[in-house]
């Protein structure tokens, strides 16, 4: 069974601070996706990283995929209250009969205070 | 464009009753996924279909749970009989193909009393 450990579980910061969320596994993934979920809604895809070592930027968000494709990080610069939400990482199975099946981390609940 | 549509949005019922959750995936998407989300266990994959065929149902908790996809535009997740521990938010998601990014519905919040 593939597991993704996400940390920290909870993060409460002030507006303007920087933060990093980590997603680690002992398994190799064909790709890693980051989602953001708000209360009462389903997760919404932020980004997909595919290549080991890949870095993608989405405004103030920077996503990195580990060289071995086993881990990833999400860095937010100058956090704003609108960034508040549940952040989920999800790894896609690299092969076998369940190719593409996503394994989700437990999530990081981020609260940004004005 | 219409996203993934789930119904009902909320369901409250007594234990022992049959519960049916419904999902309409995005048109043209070939893969459909059913998830359950709780505070304790996070987001868990229950079952997924590719081209209407169940591929992996290893996440289905027990025989009380069943899922069908009679055609490309409709799927159901049924719990019979329901138990209080089934209370959770159930999400349906679809993707163009297996391994592609998934688009989630807004979920069904299920409460079993």
Q: What is the mean pLDDT of chain A?
A: 91
Q: Would the pLDDT of A112 be above 70?
A: yes
pLDDT of residue A97: 60
pLDDT digits (tens, 9 = 90+) for B41-93: 889 999 999 999 999 898 998 899 999 999 999 999 999 999 999 999 999 99
pLDDT of residue B3: 94
* pLDDT tier, A27 (very low <50, low <70, confident <90, very high otherwise): confident
CA gap A5, A99 in Å, rounded: 20
Q: In Å, what is the CA distance from A72 to each residue of A19, A54, B69, B102?
A: 14, 10, 34, 19
- Identify the H or E element spanning B94: strand B88-95
pLDDT of residue A102: 86
Residues of B with CB under 8 A from a CB of A: 4, 31, 33, 42-45, 48, 55-56, 91, 93, 97-107
* pLDDT tier, A10 (very low <50, low <70, confident <90, very high otherwise): very high
pLDDT-above-90 percentage for chain A: 75
Interface mutation vs chain A, best among B43, B46, B47, most A CBs within 10 Å = B43
pLDDT digits (tens, 9 = 90+) for B10-22: 999 999 999 999 9
Section A19-38 average pLDDT? 93
pLDDT digits (tens, 9 = 90+) for B33-42: 999 999 888 8
> For residue A35, what are the β-bridge partners?
A45, A88
Residue B84: helix, strand or coil by DSSP? helix
């Amino acid at each position: 069974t593939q597991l993704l450990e996400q940390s920290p579980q909870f993060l409460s910061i002030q507006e303007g601070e920087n933060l990093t969320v980590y997603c680690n596994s002992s398994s190799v993934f064909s790709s890693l996706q980051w989602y953001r979920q708000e209360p009462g809604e389903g997760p919404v895809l932020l980004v997909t990283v595919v290549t080991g070592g890949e870095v993608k930027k989405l405004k103030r968000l920077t996503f990195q995929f580990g060289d071995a494709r086993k881990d990833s990080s999400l860095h937010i610069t100058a956090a704003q209250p609108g960034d508040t939400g549940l952040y989920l990482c999800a790894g896609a199975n690299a092969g076998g009969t369940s190719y593409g099946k996503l394994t989700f981390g437990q999530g990081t609940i981020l609260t940004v205070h004005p | 464009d219409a996203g993934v549509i789930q119904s009902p949005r909320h369901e409250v019922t007594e234990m022992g009753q049959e519960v049916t959750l419904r999902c309409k995936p995005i048109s043209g998407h070939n893969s459909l996924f059913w998830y359950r989300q709780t505070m304790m266990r996070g987001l868990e994959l229950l079952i997924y279909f590719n081209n209407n065929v169940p591929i992996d149902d290893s996440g289905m908790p027990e025989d009380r749970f069943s899922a069908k996809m009679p055609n490309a535009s409709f799927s159901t997740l049924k719990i019979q009989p329901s138990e209080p521990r089934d209370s959770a938010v159930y999400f349906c998601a679809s993707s163009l193909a297996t391994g592609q990014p998934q688009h989630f519905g807004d979920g069904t919040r299920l409460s079993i009393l």
